[in-house]
Amino acid sequence: MSKEEHLAKNIFEHIGGKQNTNKIYNCMTRIRIDIKDFQAVNLSALEEEEGILGIVKDDNTLQIVVGPGISQKVADKMNELSGISHTERVDENLDPHLTSNRSRAEEIANQNKKTYKENNKPSYFKSFTSTIASVFVPLIPAFVGAGIIGGIASVFQNLITAGNLDAATWGSAVTILNIIKNGLFAYLNIYVGINAAKVFGATEGLGGIVAGIIYLTGMTPENPLKNIFTGQPLAPGQGGIIGVLLAVFLLSIVEKQLRKFVPNSLDIIVTPTLSLLTVGLMTIFLIMPIAGWVSAGLVGVVNWVLNVGGAFSGFILGAFFLPLVMFGLHQILTPIHIEMINATGATQLLPVLAMAGAGQVGAALALWLKCRRNGQLVNIIKGSLPVGILGIGEPLIYAVTLPLGRPFITACIGGGIGGAVVGGIGSVGATAIGPSGVALIPLIADGKWMAYVLGLLAAYAGGFAATYFFGVPKEAQHADSFSKNAKITG
């Protein structure tokens, strides 16, 4: 028996058996299991199991940290043992420096995150944001890759326009890069529809078709379909991602209801046909107009706030984003980012919100300097800072600033200062979503990366100054006063 099979069987034993799972999949370092009944899960036995490096319990999902490479193999083996082929791989690395032994920062971050979430009962809104995250997380690598390629194409095009590059020589290169980029963005609705169908429990192929309806393929300008509320012609793509999510959610309901009374012998014919016809008509004549109005309103409001509020709006958004991340509510913004990219080519919201993580970096640097006698805390900061600079904030949140209380608040102030700089400069957008921190620089649109870098530096400096002078608890300055089981405060 291979070690992967041995670990898979032992995990099943400790989680209440194969029958206690709805879904098993994985990310780079973790096996993710949707649990039916957490009462049947023996967390203590799981934590003691050889090969398991950590446990994170999140609402109805159990995340088992086993390390890179092995997470895919164990998830595959568990699905093989359960007889269900539904494994997928989420290309998300929540433990970027994971080795065979957990670092101190990761250990404390996982423990504090677990404690925090166990002490805060999940709400319907948090469940909703978790569902939204499940739809979009698998697409993040695509957003990053296609966004960077599109950014390179824009740089070349700008150089051609300025006369620095020969159009005859470089024009084809720009066309090729844009074709690759549009492999995602031109058909994004369909990818989201398929993922949403997985999450909502609808048939994946039907989810893709319902999402594709929004493109209104086959409609001609000479004979357009009319918006039943305004009488104006419907526009292909109207409603965007928000419309796709609504339509596929409705599809999941219709499918489930039809299967309650359609005979098994007719299900393959009747259910998909009636589902597509019913949801398709509602998508065209109800969802597209309503979602189009909502999408345009959200994008308009965000742009108005950033353009009119300037530095003040940037400060508020940058300062209050970190608490959203802490509560897991930031995922609700993903459809707004995508709609802004669809409407204007870039999201001006993301660079401002990215300042929150930079404020944490500044706060951690201040703690490192002022608490240098506390070797335990300094080692934790050393392990958390590199990924924090790259825009992965969880280690700093749950292992450093949040357990100490005041540094979390001063980190938010630093994020607000960075947001004020970016908002004050204005029109700083990102061509794709995914990374933040330094990793977002290649995705900044229209060559305004220097404005984004100035925001990062301001957030670093603001978080550092606010924490150094006002945010360092006296007890944290003493040697080895920061324990693994530090309680979350403030």
27 is a catalytic site residue: yes
pLDDT band at 275 (very low <50, low <70, confident <90, very high): very high
How far, CA to CA in Å, does 9 sit from each of 29, 30, 38, 79, 464?
19, 16, 18, 11, 48
Calculate the dihedral angle through the C-alpha atoms of 412, 418, 420, 426, rounding to the nearest 10 degrees. -140
Summarize the confidence of residues 241-262 as an average pLDDT: 93
The superfamily in CATH containing domain 3-82 is Glucose permease domain IIB (3.30.1360.60)
* Domain-wise residue ranges, the chain: 3-82, 129-302, 345-486
User: Is the per-residue pLDDT at 84 higher than 70?
Assistant: no
**DSSP-based helix, strand, coil % in the chain, nearest 5:** 70, 5, 25
**What pLDDT is attached to residue 431?**
86
User: Which residue did the predictor score with more confidence, 102 or 315?
Assistant: 315
Here the tokens at position 416 are 């607000």
pLDDT band at 424 (very low <50, low <70, confident <90, very high): very high
Summarize the confidence of residues 168-191 as an average pLDDT: 91
Summarize the confidence of residues 242-246 as an average pLDDT: 92
Q: What rounded mean pLDDT belongs to the chain?
A: 84
User: Is the per-residue pLDDT at 137 higher than 90?
Assistant: no
**What pLDDT is attached to residue 483?**
45
**What is the DSSP-derived secondary structure letter of residue 121?**
P
Here the tokens at position 147 are 């966004």
**What is the DSSP-derived secondary structure letter of residue 169?**
H
CA separation for the pair 148, 137 (Å, rounded): 18
**What is the DSSP-derived secondary structure letter of residue 399?**
I
List the catalytic residue out of 27, 132, 216, 465. Answer: 27
**What pLDDT is attached to residue 191?**
94
Q: What is the pLDDT of residues 17-53, one digit of tens each?
A: 988 888 888 877 788 898 888 889 998 888 888 888 7
Does the pTM surpass 0.75? The reply is: no
Helix (H, G, I), strand (E, B), or coil: what is residue 261? coil
User: Is the per-residue pLDDT at 488 higher than 70?
Assistant: no
Residue with tokens 């005041």: 406
Phi then psi for residue 23, to 5 deg, are: -160, 140
User: Is the per-residue pLDDT at 198 higher than 50?
Assistant: yes
Nearest to 417 by CA among 360, 478, 345, 486: 360
314 and 352 Cβ atoms separated by less than 8 Å: yes
